[in-house]
Amino acid sequence: MITRNNQGFTLLELLVVLVIIGLLAGIIGPSLFKNVGKSEVTTAKAQIESLSKAIDTYRLDTGKFPSTQEGLQVLTTRPNNVANWNGPYLKKAAPLDPWGMPYQYKSPGEHNPDYDLYSLGADKTLGGEQQNSDLGNW
C-alpha cells in the first residue's frame, strides 16, 4: 500500500472555498455599502447644522446674514465693510460636503426667508431622490 504525505489542498477544495467566499461577499457586500450612503447623509446633515449655527452667530454680531456674494468665507475671514464682526466663527474654512463639493449658500433663500444652506447630494446636481437628494437647512 502506498501512502501519501502531501499536505496541500486539491483544486476542487480550493474552488469550493472560493465559491463560498463569493456567495458570502454577494450577500453581505450590498448591505455594507448601503450603510456607507447613510453615513454620508448623516455627516452632511451634521455639517449643515454646525455651519448654520456659525451663520446665526455671525448675524447676532453683525446684525445681518452674509450675502450670497460673501458666502461662507465671512465666517473665517473678516470682510472689509462689516462692523461688529467678532469672528472667526469657524476654526477653519467651511468643509466640503461628503461628496467633495462645497456647500451652497444663498441669502435670501428660496426655502427659508433668511438663507438656504445646502448640499447637492451624491449626484452633485439639483434635485434627486434618496441618496441623490439635496440636503439643506429646510
Domain membership of residue 7 (yes or no) is no
Please choose, from the candidates 94, 70, 93, the residue with its C-alpha nearest in 3D space to the C-alpha of residue 82. 70
Whether residue 15 is predicted with pLDDT greater than 60 in this model: the reply is yes
pTM score, two decimals?
A: 0.70
Residue-wise pLDDT for 28-38, tens only, equals 877 766 666 67
Domain membership of residue 10 (yes or no) is no
CA dist 110 and 116 (Å) reads: 7
Residue-wise pLDDT for 76-95, tens only, equals 999 888 888 988 999 999 99
Domain membership of residue 67 (yes or no) is yes
- What range does the domain containing 96 cover? 42-136
Residue-wise pLDDT for 33-66, tens only, equals 666 667 888 899 999 999 999 999 999 999 999 9
Domain membership of residue 14 (yes or no) is no
Number of domains in the chain: 1
Domain membership of residue 30 (yes or no) is no
CATH number, position 107: 3.30.700.10
